[in-house]
Amino acid sequence: MRLRKTLLVSLFAAAGLLAGAPAAVAKTFKVAIGDAAGGTQHHFGLTFAKLFAEKTGGAHKADLFPNSQLGSEEDTVNNAAMGLLDFSILAINNITPFSPTVGVLTLPYVIQSAEEAKKLTTGPVGKELAENTVRDAGVRIIGWTYSGFRRLTNSKRPVKTLEDLQGLVIRVPKNEIMIATYQAWGINPTPMAWSETFTGLQQRVIDGQDNPYITISAMKFYEVQKYITNIRYIFSLEPMIVSDQVFKSQKPDVQKAILDAGQEATEESYRYLLASEEKIRKDLAARGMEIVDPANGEKAWIEKAKTVWPKFYKSIGGKDKLDRVLKELGR
């Protein structure tokens, strides 16, 4: 009798293990986010997480870690490449050092509208750049966050001309194209990690920085910055990347769920930008920020910045790569 009872217990235990088998392979993926909660990166992440859970029938989840909790944006590229991190949403300029051809989308004044940004990222150019990041960096772009044009902010004075810019200490990411652009405008910017930027502004180590309205709001830069200049030199694209090692280790249905959720989150990000940017601009003004336009339609800024293009032809894959991008945009 005791033997039979033990046998039954063993059978029930085995049945329990079998019933729980799907849970054993279920996974909660970690998603690093450079920006604070409330910005476009976070909105993309929330959208992706919801869609991914739905598409896997709740078997898999994605947990978000905003405000660089899992390391700097560049660190997350390294960690994802090594399979130590699942996903990251980060500024495109922080992928460029690992996959230089992506830099074609960060050359100043190449992208001149949100529509152009979407056309490039979701078309043949975006597909090619995504393939390049797998080859070069071991990470796969599976979606794009659209955040708008990077606007210049500072704490000292209104900046309408390049002459007004002189003497200001401006933070930029550790990105050669952005550094070269400010140098073309006549100043030497200060490369600084994103996680250190708010403190740098607060302590007046730096006078200003540039980022889209939505990021300025999400990071509460209105607490430490007074002036915004509506330059439009770079459209801020913030892709979501997945570790190629992690991606390839998933079953085909999970891979499809990742790709489909990324594509749908991309569409939602574009809608979100168009619906919210003007409202956020007005909110920043209501919070006391003074917003000005560059003099003469930004003409001097554009002329100087375009002298930077030839310096990066080689790194982006040749002048013909830029020509192809401009042709796709009808220019």
> For the segment 118-165, what is each residue's pLDDT rounded down to a tens digit?
999 999 999 999 999 999 999 999 999 999 999 999 999 999 999 999
- List of the chain residues with pLDDT < 50: 1-24
State the burial class of residue 13 (Cβ atoms within 10 Å of its Cβ: 0-12, 13-18, 19+). exposed
DSSP three-state, residue 91: coil
What's residue 3's pLDDT?
38
E strand or H helix that includes residue 238: strand 235-243
Q: What is the pTM of this model?
A: 0.88
- Tokens 């998603």, residue located: 31
Report the b/e string of 288-297 with b at 16+ CB within 10 A: ebebeebeee
Rounded distance between C-alpha atoms, residue 59 and residue 277, angstroms: 35
**Domains defined along the chain, listed by start:** 26-328 (3.40.190.170)
What is the distance between the alpha carbons of residues 109 and 127, in angstroms, rounded to a whole number?
A: 21
Q: Contact, 151 vs 210, CB < 8 A?
A: yes
